[in-house]
């Protein structure tokens, strides 16, 4: 079975939750996965999370041919550049604290939402966003993408998103090579 689960969660139900035989996940299914992971693995995830003052911290929780799952931390002021996910569907659920997401679909208006602990969102391939911790306390979140390891594209701002976001190619590699690349690249 092609599934890799973080050693700290090896005895958890995560290996079953990521459904190793499923080739692709929809945004709704990813939202269900991130939400269930935060809810069912809350204590274990809090034990794993680390906060780094120099940059956001992350660790891969699980990887299959169809999905990658990550735990990220965000100190106040930390965030991403505006980016898309290269055509991959995605989701994130907030484990602790709160995160602000500014997002836009091509041709659509710029929107902003605040996501508190327990909140989860799913998004499709045309979604571009910027996620930040604008609060006063640390935050942590669980992210999922399908297909896994599709590169992100950064933009100078969310208004610079093109009228169409073309998908980038998914990697069709042997599972051991997917795992090695995930360890090098991060979310």
Give domain limits for the chain: 3-185
CA–CA gap between residue 15 and residue 40 (Å, rounded): 13
Walk along the chain (187 residues) and give the pLDDT tens digit of each residue.
699 999 999 888 999 999 999 999 999 999 999 999 999 999 999 999 999 999 999 999 999 999 999 999 999 999 999 999 998 999 999 999 999 999 998 888 999 999 999 999 999 988 999 999 999 999 999 999 999 988 899 999 999 988 888 888 776 777 788 787 877 777 7
Q: 5 with 15: CB under 8 angstroms?
A: yes
**pTM of the model as a whole:** 0.93
Domain 3-185, architecture per CATH? Sandwich (2.60)
Phi, psi dihedral angles at 32 (to 5 degrees): -60, -40
- DSSP E strands in the chain: the ranges are 3-5, 57-64, 68-74, 83-84, 89-96, 98-104, 111-116, 120-123, 128-132, 139-146, 153-154
> Distance between the two ends of the chain, CA-based, in angstroms?
23
């Amino acid at each position: 079975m092609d599934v890799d689960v973080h050693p700290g969660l090896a005895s958890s139900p995560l290996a079953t939750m990521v459904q190793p035989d499923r080739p692709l996940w929809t945004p709704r299914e990813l939202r269900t996965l991130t939400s269930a992971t935060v809810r069912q693995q809350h204590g274990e995830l809090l034990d794993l999370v680390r906060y780094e003052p120099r940059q956001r911290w992350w660790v891969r929780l699980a990887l299959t041919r169809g999905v990658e799952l990550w735990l990220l931390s965000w100190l106040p002021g930390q965030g991403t550049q505006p980016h898309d996910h290269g055509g991959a569907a995605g989701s994130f659920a907030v484990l602790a604290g709160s995160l602000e997401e500014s997002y836009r679909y091509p041709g659509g208006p710029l929107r902003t939402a605040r996501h508190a602990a327990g909140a989860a969102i799913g998004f499709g391939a045309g979604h571009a966003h910027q996620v930040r911790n604008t609060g006063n306390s640390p935050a942590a979140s669980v992210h999922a993408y399908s297909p896994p390891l599709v590169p992100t594209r950064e933009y100078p701002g969310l208004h610079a998103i093109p009228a169409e976001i073309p998908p980038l190619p998914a990697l069709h590699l042997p599972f051991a090579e997917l795992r090695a690349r995930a360890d090098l690249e991060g979310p």
